[in-house]
Amino acid sequence: MILPACNSAEDFTFAPESIAACADTIRAGGLIGLPTETVYGLGADADNGTAVAKVFAAKGRPADHPLIVHVAAFDGGLSGVAHFCAQVPPFAQQLMSAFWPGPLTLILPRRAGVGAAAAGGQDSIGLRCPAHPAAQAVLLALRRPPAGQPEVWGVAAPSANRFGRVSPTTAAHVQSELGDELLILDGGPCTLGIESTIIDCTRGAPVLLRPGSITSAQVEAACGRKLLSKDELAAHASTAPRASGTLESHYAPNAKVRLMDAKALQTALDLLGADVGKAGIAVYARSALKTNSRQLVLRRMPAQADAAAHELFAVLRELDDLGVKLIWVEIPPDTMEWVGVRDRLQRASA
Ligand code: TXA
Ligand code: MG
């Protein structure tokens, strides 16, 4: 069931009964579809092992893949961090004060006895303080329960899609992934559209586990430290934490995705000529391409990286729904702003 977060299309104040229904469901050990500024999450009480197990089951996700835990922002996320984390290095504190609430997840040493199921058995925990006001309304309600009800410190929420599929950026996407029984809070289309930047803060230096809208340069400027890549880390240590968002093949639509530069795309279109439409191919490109096929599904990718990120998963879903067999995508520029979009497209094509 989809519940609107706001009172009406004209009235952007929160519908208190929607927020309360979501908080009640989480408190009772249930699951909700939670809007965030990146993608929709499938949320459960991070300290409730039974509830977290339902998240893994609903997604079809292996139980040893840790989930991101979302915390309330009223105090900059600090009390949530204190609840879940054993200790926070100074560079991680700087990153929190620079980017929270926002699309940044920090992997931190976990305090023994808390969030164990959400952490998938690891001794670290991924924490994020989301910027979406509706997510924050639910998180705050959980920290301020009605008399006699327990306080919930964090909501474990992976992206609300079945394992390995494209992440949802609207309430309707969540419903089509996970069904109508799930309570889904509709906070509108996600503004950013790709998942948070993940930085491992348990290794003495910041390590980038997953690129997102916040760039490496922004991270380095905020904490005054060089951000290591996973490859640089691998040179130092042999045990890397699991991160399913970092599996080679992930974010995959049903159609096969192929990445090409504009020249290769144009050559392929020229070769197929008028038959390209019949071949079940869709094209998603920034460049203006020429085709003499009227049936070809040709979607223009925005020239700005943030606009492309915003629509990326929705476009992949749309093209999938048209039933095309192949999606040819123009590879994004090799610049810092495009790293997050490139990463998701490379995984979708793996
Ligand atoms: O933008 C986002 O981060 C979205 C929204 C819903 O907040 N959430 C999201 O969660 O993408 P998920 O579970 O799909 O991706 C979480 C990633 C996974 O790759 C997971 O393995 C990694 O974070 N992660 C979580 N806790 C970790 C830990 N303790 N150590 C290493 N990686 C961790
Ligand atoms: Mg995911």
Residue 243 lies in a domain: no
Residue 318 lies in a domain: yes
Are 193 and 272 in a shared domain? no
Distance 216 CA to ligand 1 centre (A): 18
Nearest-atom index, ligand 1, CA of 212: 1
Domain CATH number, residue 10: 3.90.870.10
Are 29 and 150 in a shared domain? yes
Are 61 and 151 in a shared domain? yes
pTM of the full structure: 0.91
Are 216 and 76 in a shared domain? yes
pLDDT mean by block of 10 residues, the chain; 350 residues: 87 88 98 98 97 95 90 95 95 97 98 92 95 97 96 97 94 96 97 97 94 96 94 65 54 88 95 79 94 87 98 95 93 96 94
Which of 148, 174, 134 shows the shortest CA–CA distance to 22?
134
Distance 275 CA to ligand 1 centre (A): 42
Are 93 and 230 in a shared domain? yes
In short, whether 192's Cβ falls inside 6 Å of ligand 1 is no
Provide the residue range defining the domain that includes 78: 2-235
Are 178 and 271 in a shared domain? no
Distance 13 CA to ligand 1 centre (A): 30
In short, whether 196's Cβ falls inside 6 Å of ligand 1 is yes
Confirm if 210 and 246 have CB atoms less than 8 A apart.
Answer: yes
Domain CATH number, residue 265: 3.40.50.11030
**Last-in-domain residue among 183, 204, 235:** 235
Are 200 and 316 in a shared domain? no
Predicted local confidence at residue 157, as pLDDT: 98
Are 53 and 143 in a shared domain? yes
Q: Which helix (H) or strand (E) holds 128?
A: strand 124-128
As for how many domains the chain has, the answer is 2
Residue 345 lies in a domain: yes
Are 285 and 231 in a shared domain? no
Residue 245 lies in a domain: no
Are 165 and 264 in a shared domain? no
Residue 143 lies in a domain: yes
Are 211 and 270 in a shared domain? no
Residue nearest ligand 1's atom 6 by CA: 41
Long-range Cβ contact pairs of 107-111 (< 8 A, separation 24 or more): 107/198, 107/199, 107/200, 107/201, 107/202, 107/209, 107/241, 108/81, 108/84, 108/201, 108/202, 109/85, 109/202, 110/84, 110/85, 110/86, 111/83, 111/84, 111/85, 111/86
Residue 240 lies in a domain: no
Burial 108-126, CB ≥16 within 10 A → b, else e: bbbbeebbbbbbbebebbb
Confirm if 45 and 141 have CB atoms less than 8 A apart.
Answer: no
Residue 246 lies in a domain: no
- Cα–Cα dist 58/242, whole Å: 20
Residue nearest ligand 1's atom 29 by CA: 125
Are 36 and 101 in a shared domain? yes
Residue 249 lies in a domain: no
